[in-house]
């Protein structure tokens, strides 16, 4: 079966969810489904061997009615403007849902970081930010890390913007910076930890296989990057057992449990997880259907689709990645009694701590890690509670409607309601 592109999926979902938004003005649909602004740049960079290569970069501002655009910058060889646009829309819903005063944005450069030196990456980043010029800014559009970018990339972004705008506090122009450059304690692991806080709160209310906590629950995680590894660590600290773990090259399986620290050390030595002693190699496809209680896709989009959704054995799927479950798979999982904690809720911890970083930068303060984590847990739990309550209300109003029963529908409808309400409150200009 063919899987629609993430962009089409995003449009479909917005269209579906709009049916459940109270007093929704139909004329707003195209405004909410499309980006407010999309920028494409193409720029040359001198490579280490003296040759010159041109790179394409994008920055999309989806919506800024609730505040400045906010969202990551990813570096990926297959990146397209369409994909960036749909990820920017997800940021709008994510920010509205978690209650931070930002709109949605996303950006990136088409490049393969595995083939580039640090010097080349620095020159690409600086030139990209220079090309974007005043399309980013502390109160207009604020980048952050995403796939294959990190705190170092954010330091270069800050430094480039600061050189272009001397004499003022430019720290809030970008989040996810190194801590000594105004980064927030706890930002690095925030998305992964947020995934775990959201899961814990969900378990406390609804439970999974009779368990109300993570203690003893078996978890499969696809993806061992920043998000997957932080989630794995926090899960094991709470007594969960990681039975399967995957990276881009394959996956490993061990019913007795995988120690994330050992897996990290093995991956650092060997460049991959496969072959780790005490585990069996499996494919990423087998990981998705592995015997477990909770499945956490923490890698790329469309990993659970119409073809493999009927075989998923987890009872709860927690979307740590953006868009890992397709709309068709959503309905199949629901028919099989499997709940999905949607991306805009489950992985909002990253942007939540980005907001904390932005506030600290504006105040020129640094909060303790405990304070950051306490506030993160509070916000994740509050959002999960709101989505569960909204979902119950939708199901009461629309009995026997499978779409209304999805937590994604409740999350998206709630976020769209907040954004469309703000559009109307501010008044449509002129
Ligand atoms: N890239 C992350 C996300 O997709 C974080 C964005 C941010 O912190 O602005 O949510």
146 touches ligand 1 (CB under 6 Å): yes
Give the pLDDT of residue 160.
Answer: 98
Q: How confident is the model at residue 426 (pLDDT cuts 50, 70, 90)?
A: very high
Residues 83-124: pLDDT tens digits? 999 999 999 999 999 999 999 999 999 999 999 999 999 999
Give the pLDDT of residue 4.
Answer: 74
Give the pLDDT of residue 1.
Answer: 58
For residue 368, the tally of other CB atoms under 10 A from its CB is 10
351 touches ligand 1 (CB under 6 Å): yes
Residue to mutate (ligand 1; options 192, 198, 225, 350; most atoms within 8 A of CB): 350
Give the pLDDT of residue 8.
Answer: 85
- Tokens, residue 301: 């989009």
Q: Are 184 and 356 in contact (CB under 8 A)?
A: yes
Q: Coil, strand or helix: which one is 69?
A: strand
Residues 117-173: pLDDT tens digits? 999 999 999 999 999 999 999 999 999 999 999 999 999 999 999 999 999 999 999
Q: Which residues touch 423 (CB under 8 Å, ≥6 apart)?
A: 28, 31, 65
Residue to mutate (ligand 1; options 68, 145, 359; most atoms within 8 A of CB): 145
| CA 81–ligand 1 middle distance (angstroms) | 17
Determine the Cα–Cα distance for residues 193 and 289; give it in Å rounded to an integer: 24
Angstrom distances, CA of residue 407 to CA of 21, 340, 342, 420: 14, 7, 7, 20
Residue nearest to atom 9 of ligand 1 (CA): 71
Q: Are 346 and 323 in contact (CB under 8 A)?
A: no
Residues 232-254: pLDDT tens digits? 999 999 999 999 999 999 999 99
Give the pLDDT of residue 5.
Answer: 80
For the chain, list the domains and their CATH numbers: 34-180 (3.40.50.10860), 190-344 (3.40.50.720)
Q: Coil, strand or helix: which one is 203?
A: helix
- Tokens, residue 350: 């990253």
- Tokens, residue 336: 């099989």
Ligand 1 nearest-atom number relative to CA 72 = 1
70 touches ligand 1 (CB under 6 Å): yes
In 386-424, which positions are buried (b, 16+ CB within 10 angstroms) versus exposed (e)?
bbbebbeebbeeeeeeebbbbbbbbbbbbbbbbbbbebe
| CA 351–ligand 1 middle distance (angstroms) | 5
Determine the Cα–Cα distance for residues 14 and 412; give it in Å rounded to an integer: 7
Q: Is the pLDDT of residue 335 over 70?
A: yes
Residues 349-382: pLDDT tens digits? 999 999 999 999 999 999 999 999 999 999 999 9
Q: How confident is the model at residue 6 (pLDDT cuts 50, 70, 90)?
A: confident
- Tokens, residue 143: 């980048």
Residues 172-187: pLDDT tens digits? 999 999 999 999 999 9
Determine the Cα–Cα distance for residues 175 and 152; give it in Å rounded to an integer: 11
122 touches ligand 1 (CB under 6 Å): no
Residues 45-94: pLDDT tens digits? 999 999 999 999 999 999 999 999 999 999 999 999 999 999 999 999 99
Determine the Cα–Cα distance for residues 360 and 366; give it in Å rounded to an integer: 6
Angstrom distances, CA of residue 90 to CA of 63, 94, 210, 221, 269: 10, 6, 32, 22, 35
Give the pLDDT of residue 235.
Answer: 98
Instruction: Return the ∠ at Cα 244 (arms to 292 and 232), rounded to 5°.
Output: 95
Determine the Cα–Cα distance for residues 88 and 84; give it in Å rounded to an integer: 6
Catalytic (active-site) positions: 106
Reported pTM: 0.97
| CA 71–ligand 1 middle distance (angstroms) | 5
- Tokens, residue 2: 């063919």
Instruction: Return the ∠ at Cα 427 (arms to 426 and 428), rounded to 5°.
Output: 125
175 touches ligand 1 (CB under 6 Å): yes
Question: What percentage of the chain reaches a pLDDT higher than 70?
Answer: 100
Q: Is the pLDDT of residue 406 over 70?
A: yes
Ligand 1 nearest-atom number relative to CA 87 = 4
In 162-188, which positions are buried (b, 16+ CB within 10 angstroms) versus exposed (e)?
beeeeeeebbbbbbbbeeeebbbbbbb
| CA 397–ligand 1 middle distance (angstroms) | 33
Residues 246-304: pLDDT tens digits? 999 999 999 999 999 999 999 999 999 999 999 999 999 999 999 999 999 999 999 99
Q: How confident is the model at residue 2 (pLDDT cuts 50, 70, 90)?
A: low
Ligand 1 nearest-atom number relative to CA 146 = 1
Angle, helix 369-397 to helix 407-426, in steps of 10 degrees? 100
Q: Which residues touch 270 (CB under 8 Å, ≥6 apart)?
A: none
Q: Coil, strand or helix: which one is 103?
A: strand
Residues 387-401: pLDDT tens digits? 999 999 999 999 999
Determine the Cα–Cα distance for residues 62 and 96; give it in Å rounded to an integer: 13
Ligand 1 nearest-atom number relative to CA 145 = 1
Residues 171-228: pLDDT tens digits? 999 999 999 999 999 999 999 999 999 999 999 999 999 999 999 999 999 999 999 9
Nearest residue to 327 via CA among 21, 83, 12, 34: 12
Q: Is the pLDDT of residue 9 over 90?
A: no
Give the pLDDT of residue 7.
Answer: 82
192 touches ligand 1 (CB under 6 Å): no
Determine the Cα–Cα distance for residues 86 and 302; give it in Å rounded to an integer: 13
Q: Which residues touch 183 (CB under 8 Å, ≥6 apart)?
A: 151, 154, 175, 176, 177, 357
Determine the Cα–Cα distance for residues 194 and 180; give it in Å rounded to an integer: 23
Where helices occur in 303-348 by DSSP H, the ranges are 327-335, 343-346
354 touches ligand 1 (CB under 6 Å): yes
For residue 291, the tally of other CB atoms under 10 A from its CB is 12
Q: Which H helix or E strand runs over 314?
A: none
């Amino acid at each position: 079966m063919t899987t629609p592109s993430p962009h089409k999926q995003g449009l479909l979902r917005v269209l579906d969810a709009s049916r459940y938004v109270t007093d929704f003005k139909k004329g707003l649909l195209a405004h909410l489904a499309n980006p407010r602004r999309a920028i494409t740049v193409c720029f040359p960079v001198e490579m280490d061997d003296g040759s010159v290569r041109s790179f394409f970069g994008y920055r999309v501002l989806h919506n800024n009615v609730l505040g400045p655009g906010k969202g990551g910058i990813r570096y990926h060889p297959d990146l397209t403007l369409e994909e960036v646009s749909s990820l920017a829309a997800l940021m709008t819903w994510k920010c509205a849902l978690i209650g931070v005063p930002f709109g949605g944005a996303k950006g990136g450069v088409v490049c393969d970081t595995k083939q580039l030196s640090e010097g080349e990456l620095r020159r690409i980043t600086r030139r990209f930010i220079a090309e974007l010029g005043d399309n980013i800014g502390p109160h207009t559009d604020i980048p952050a890390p995403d796939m294959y970018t990190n705190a170092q990339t954010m330091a270069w972004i800050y430094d480039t913007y600061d050189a272009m705008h001397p004499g003022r506090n430019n720290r809030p122009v970008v989040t996810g910076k190194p801590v000594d450059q105004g980064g927030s304690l706890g930002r690095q692991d925030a998305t992964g930890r947020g995934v775990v806080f959201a899961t814990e709160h969900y378990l406390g209310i609804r439970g999974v296989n009779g368990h109300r906590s993570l203690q003893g629950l078996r978890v499969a995680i696809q993806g061992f990057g920043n998000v997957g590894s932080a989630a794995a660590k926090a899960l094991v600290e709470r007594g969960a057992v990681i039975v399967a773990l995957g990276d881009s090259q394959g996956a490993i399986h061990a019913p007795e449990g995988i120690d994330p620290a050992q897996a990290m050390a093995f991956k650092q030595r060997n460049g991959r997880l496969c072959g780790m002693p005490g585990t069996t190699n499996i494919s990423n496809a087998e990981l998705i259907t592995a015997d477990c209680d909770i499945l956490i896709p923490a890698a790329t989009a469309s990993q659970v689709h119409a073809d493999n959704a009927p075989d998923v054995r987890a009872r709860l799927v927690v979307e740590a990645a953006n868009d890992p479950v397709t709309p068709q798979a959503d309905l199949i999982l629901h028919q099989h009694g499997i709940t999905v904690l949607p991306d805009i809720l489950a992985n909002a911890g990253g942007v939540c701590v980005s907001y904390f970083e932005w506030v600290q930068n504006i105040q020129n303060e640094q909060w303790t890690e405990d304070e950051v984590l306490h506030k993160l847990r509070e916000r994740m739990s509050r959002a999960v509670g709101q989505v569960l309550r909204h979902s119950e209300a939708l199901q009461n109003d629309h009995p026997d409607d499978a779409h209304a029963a999805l937590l994604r529908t409740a999350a998206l409808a709630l976020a769209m309601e907040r954004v469309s309400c703000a559009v109307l409150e501010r008044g449509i200009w002129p």
